[in-house]
A and B are shown apart, each in its own frame.
Chain A
């Protein structure tokens, strides 16, 4: 109830002068962050659907993910093909088949880095990181909340049309719409915060 009333105030403030608009922005992000349950460790299943205009059909994959706050995300794809990724700020590690991971350093590829940080921020509901790059707008939602984010910088606006994040206690959906028509959607479900420690296999990924 409190959230709702605050959101009403915020919506009202959107038409107010810019300075206030910025505070409203801060509150929007804060509201989202407040609603989210921040856990040291969060596990869930995911479904990813990448709709690229050139492909005959959307590229679908699914699996499990482990979000470890402050560390990164372990992304275990099970279908259509087993492959594991560890995403953390600065790099992506990829395990395909046996042996050592392939390390993809992203520091030198700005767009890639941006994408990673956006992804990490969106999943972890880290408002500060998103607030720097995006303007938020509250959309109506049956339950929980739904925000549409649009890039502040021209550089980003040239690539990304919008980023929608929806959820309740956890982020349940992320939808990225590119300017040229390609899009990717992530659905998350079966959240669990237990056990609170990594198991041995997960640990071995994060330890790399």
Chain B
């Protein structure tokens, strides 16, 4: 219980509902590490009219957040000496480091091109040239290499006195980069950070008027998602509770049945929650959302009891009423559980939780009706019940219509089947995202100023030691070069860009040595055009020899130097294994990247969005087949009870409802995802119940019709509210159920009209012979 109050048993990360992609465990663990690190990044953008004000506001923000313990790293101002030491760090190794285009030119022997490029560097009005640099590096290969390390995307981002600044005509923006200490999905972190940020926003607008704060990262989305889910839990919970209460009062003119029904539901929910907690150790927020809609299902048993009671006279004992509905609700429970067990078989963590919650909850509610109701005397006002009369009227419509009604239904089904042809699948990651326009807008504002777009795809590289790792990376990057060239990949960031492998370093030096051969005209030409000192060539030769004697630049040296600070996350190695990540930006062709990683030793391509799409589409298919299997199992169960014809008429109700639901989705141009198919399973469970209730009642009885109508109304109340969810998945689920259940209710008399039970309407209340 203490865990419950601390909020640690309720999980809000939607992705934990999904199974892990099939991948080697070590690779998957490494990929998770990269994802988690990325998820923890949080960018703040403080904007103001003047740079000074923006800086002050950024400092204020950092001051008021850094003592919270929520951040592993948060700094408004960078140590600037870091960047200026970049040059001095690489300086001793300058003849071993070549930018990719320079390396290409020299390797291909295009010395004239190389010469023209050197000349261009001298003619650049902003060359940053000085005598010291030229004395040490007359070909300016070091500035060329350093420039190649900068990200390629055009960006206005600059470092001003240590502040990451973007200057626009009338506004200055300061970026503060943070790294959260724990997952952005931790509800505890969300609560604390959200309230702190709200305070800071208020303080900023008070102390620094005109400043704005915008956030980018996973955190704002996760926090907005939690708030939305929480709101949905309470809206769905309270909304359906109020709706059901109103319905009870109208129909039964007494609150007594409502309290009993509420008790039944509460017993169900507590049972489901407790067992879930015991089995899984935690309950997902989404399970609670779906669980809240359990109200709509378990209340059916209570409803059935009270409607039966309404149809019987006052003298009937509670025990008799329970006996009369027992077979109906028991069969209903069994078929519902069969439906949920179908989900349970699927290796889908989130669905399993929901299936357990629902099965246990329903069983508890059933027990409540069967055990508790008979011992409690209940009386409800009976005279002139309007609801019962309306139900009788709808019942007569079916009984009179007879076969004609059936033809109308057949026509409806044909139209629905046609509309189903319009259905399009959606297996996108977006299904699980809450669409919060405000959060989205802030994020886009920051990203557009940042000008960087890190792809969710990346490569993982593994090797036994650092040298082998760097070589593997270089091989991979060489093969990626054509993609970089034709623009299907904008840029990549890799360790070997900062520290070439030892082999490549000596290769680079040998490439420079080619410029010293007697045939090479490079130095004579540069002495002529630029005015390099006469002894430039000899000086360069001896500098090359000198560099050869000294050891190459090692990854170790780079990793321990402050210059690697912004890129150290690329290194994932441990003591016994070298590993790294190659991050990408501007990915246009995922398949090409996948193909390049294919069959390569120690290289894995990870595409999280692709993983999810694959998971969604494969589970959409699996769930679809599971649904069919469930329908078959339920049908067999019904055959055992009602015979072939009876089973056909009962199963016709959920089948027709499912067809109408999907047809309507087709008409509404709603995409079909896993979550619509999941809803079909529930339509089966509930629709079969309706059929059974009619079959057991042996005719279109007003009491049955009323019970089914109320059950449908309560379910629709609950799921109708889910369809208003801002999360696509919940919306799809809710909408499918909304339509499916409404259709199941309207079509439920089918089970009494198609192949009517042989015992006919001897005990039926409405008393009309079927045609």
Contacts and interface: CB of A to CB of B under 8 A. Distances in A.
B157 interface: yes
Nearest to B534: A56
Interface in B523-543: 527, 529-534
Interface residues of B, number: 45
A151 to B, nearest CB: 13
Interface in A162-206: 178, 180-182, 184, 186
Contacts of B532: 55-56
B595 interface: no
A107 B134 contact: no
Tell me which of B83, B116, B158, B533 has the highest count of chain A C-beta atoms within 10 A of its own C-beta. Answer: B158
A57 interface: yes
A90 B157 contact: yes
Contact of A113 (B113, B149, B153, B158): B158
Interface string B126-149: 111111101100000000001101
B571 interface: no
A40 interface: no
Interface stretch (A24-32, A97-105, A137-145): A97-105
A116 interface: yes
B621 interface: no
Contact of A111 (B119, B128, B150): B128
A54 interface: yes
Nearest to B99: A102
Contacts of B146: 109
Contact of A110 (B84, B130, B131, B156): B84
B68 to A, nearest CB: 30
Contacts of A186: 125
A115 B124 CA distance: 12
Nearest to A87: B126
B119 to A, nearest CB: 5
A150 interface: no
B158 to A, nearest CB: 5
Given A90-B155, A90-B158, A110 B83 contact: yes
Given A52-B129, A54-B135, A81-B116, A108 B83 contact: yes
Interface residues of A, number: 47
A96 B116 contact: yes
Given A90-B156, A105-B152, A105-B155, A70 B130 contact: no
Nearest to A132: B51
Nearest to A51: B131
Nearest to B485: A100
A180 B126 contact: no
B530 A55 contact: yes
A85 B123 CA distance: 10
A85 B151 CA distance: 19
Contacts of A108: 83, 86, 149-151, 159
A186 B126 CA distance: 12
A105 B151 contact: yes
Interface in B107-128: 113, 116-117, 119-120, 122-128
Interface in A6-59: 48, 50, 52-59
B159 A85 contact: no
B169 interface: yes
B201 interface: no
Contact of B128 (A53, A54, A58, A112): A112
Contacts of A112: 126, 128
Tell me which of B84, B129, B533 has the highest count of chain A C-beta atoms within 10 A of its own C-beta. Answer: B129
Given A106-B150, A119-B125, A182-B129, 20 more contacts: A53-B131, A54-B131, A55-B530, A56-B531, A57-B531, A59-B123, A80-B123, A81-B123, A89-B158, A90-B155, A90-B156, A91-B154, A94-B120, A96-B120, A105-B152, A107-B159, A108-B83, A108-B159, A109-B146, A180-B131
6 closest A-B pairs (Cβ-Cβ)? A54-B131, A105-B150, A55-B531, A56-B531, A108-B150, A53-B131
Interface of B: 80, 83-84, 86, 101, 113, 116-117, 119-120, 122-132, 134-135, 146-147, 149-159, 167, 169, 527, 529-534
6 contacts: A54-B134, A80-B119, A85-B126, A92-B126, A180-B130, A186-B125
